[in-house]
Structure 1
């Protein structure tokens, strides 16, 4: 039995997200048939970072304008292209994120069609968007829903071949990721034991893993473990941040399987020349039975979320620091 791991809940929550496929496809088809000009992927903190892989996918594959935006900034800065021909997607585990809720109100006032993914149908976000697609409570991450949405959208536009095959294979994702978690657990425990007293980590990732790099650095290591971090995109590493590396610097590298892999390989090669504490978490190390080779790169954020979920649980154990402990977030008014 794995530490802090509820297997039935893990499988059930993931299954509930991919079970949204018919609703997502029906929604996308209606939007495409009616026509719209641009798509906004709106989030706050982790849900903002989790939008980046899908902005990245759209940017490299589609001529449709798709951009990720920070909810709070959108409200104060606005966006000249946001209007009645726009669609905006919001994700929230709790369905109560204040910044996102205010951004929904802002978008609706401009005539934007709003979509929400959450696990709570009675939550403020679910109640305020034009359409809410509901998974099981606490289901995370939202990558499956976003991949189905963007995949179907690009497919309808003739910009993504093989969507039906990908969507069919995503039905296997609960079992696929369960095997990932089991395989990762030992290495996760080893990493945590070795870094029990490490108070600073340097994180690097690129391509569709840059969002996860940002998320793990800020939302897990900083927010949930109160550890100091630096996070940098692998393409930007050699433009300043490399100067922070020393012989004992803990460097965490997230490596995927898309076209940006070579950029991260370059960072790994350099980092290992300087630091004796470089850890690479590579999605290529996991079989992903039932997933076709051409889709592995798209699933990198999901795979690493599962791998690092095991790391987080073991860090919680060795550091005796609950992942739920907060000093300020949703504790103080700000």
Structure 2
């Protein structure tokens, strides 16, 4: 595969899976100690990657779950953020400015802080009450963060007796790293063609629904905009028909991500409409990828992870096609802001 280290990928994703035992122990202790809610408070891309887990809890658990902007919470606070809160702060670098400021505020409140980081010798790597370290880099961090946050959500549901098949789900997730590698291999021959679609327009509407909408948002903002300087309009599939549809013409590029959770019909609706009005509709569907041993329920849970692993292959080809390395920046961490 182009510019890809298989063993590094497996090591990082297996590392995320290996954290699930301690994550479960910490969540159990927090709940036993009277935790009343959970906040997922990441910044930028890391925040977006927490959304599927937060969504899962909000829809299937009675445990109050919040997701907010650290930069805003630092200024305004939240009536629900108390010493009885669990706060999850993800940051690959461990140095994200807004998240470091949040950590200080949350410490004053007395909430229990779980930090998910790639580097220990950092403010967030040292500052959490419970620190979970799994080294990753930009091309491997999505799957790792998705998995860690999913384990947190499943653990909460387990200890609140809100999930009957926890062990079955966990058993299937433990085999996911190898399955993801197989997905990459199976898609490699198609990745360049999809990358050429992305390189072929200066502007894309990028959309999805359910737990793959965050991956659509993330890919548009963090990869196409930040790393490739390609303009995008990320829009949720349910909002597509409240404004965005009027922008659709024959030559307007639409990138549609489809997952396998209950919200898939919202993506079908966009596909049915858009295919009649543009000849630049590209669909990336997790249902196209075999995942032996993964049940339909778990396929629905891991749809954003599968998309992330496929999109990494597309990005690897995109940076070559455009002669624009993913690490190239004009402003991000290069100038004061």
* Residue 232 of structure 2 corresponds to residue 201 of structure 1: no
CA distance in 2 between counterparts of 1:92 and 1:203 reads 25
Structure 2 SS opposite 1:280: strand
Structure 2 SS opposite 1:273: coil
- Aligned twin of 2:239: 236
- Aligned twin of 1:109: 108
Structure 1 SS opposite 2:332: coil
Residue-by-residue CA offset, 1:190-230 (whole Å, 9 max, x unaligned): 11234433111110111111111111110000000001111
Q: Give the drift of 1:137.
A: 4.1
Residue from 270, 274, 278 that aligns with 2:273: 270
TM-score, length-normalised on structure 2? 0.96
Farther off after superposition, 302-311 or 155-164 = 155-164
Where does 1:1-334 land on structure 2 (aligned, <5 Å)? 2-138=1-137, 140-141=141-142, 142-334=145-337
CA distance in 2 between counterparts of 1:286 and 1:137 reads 24
Task: List alignment gaps of at least 5 residues for structure 2.
Answer: none
Q: 1:213 to 1:59 in 2, by over 3 A?
A: same
CA distance in 2 between counterparts of 1:264 and 1:24 reads 33
Q: How many residues align?
A: 333
CA distance in 1 between counterparts of 2:276 and 2:224 reads 25
CA distance in 2 between counterparts of 1:281 and 1:170 reads 22
2:172–2:298: 8 Å Cα contact kept in structure 1?
Answer: no
Q: Give the drift of 1:290.
A: 2.3
Structure 2 SS opposite 1:90: strand
Q: Give the drift of 1:287.
A: 0.9
Q: What stretches of structure 1 move > 6 A for 4+ residues in a row?
A: none
Residue-by-residue CA offset, 1:86-135 (whole Å, 9 max, x unaligned): 11001111111111111111111111110011121212101111110112
Q: Give the drift of 1:298.
A: 0.3
CA distance in 2 between counterparts of 1:333 and 1:195 reads 30
Q: Give the drift of 1:136.
A: 2.9
Q: Give the drift of 1:283.
A: 0.6
CA distance in 2 between counterparts of 1:195 and 1:127 reads 39
1:17–1:136: 8 Å Cα contact kept in structure 2?
Answer: no
Structure 2 SS opposite 1:43: coil
1:197–1:319: 8 Å Cα contact kept in structure 2?
Answer: no
CA distance in 1 between counterparts of 2:82 and 2:310 reads 39
Structure 2 SS opposite 1:32: helix
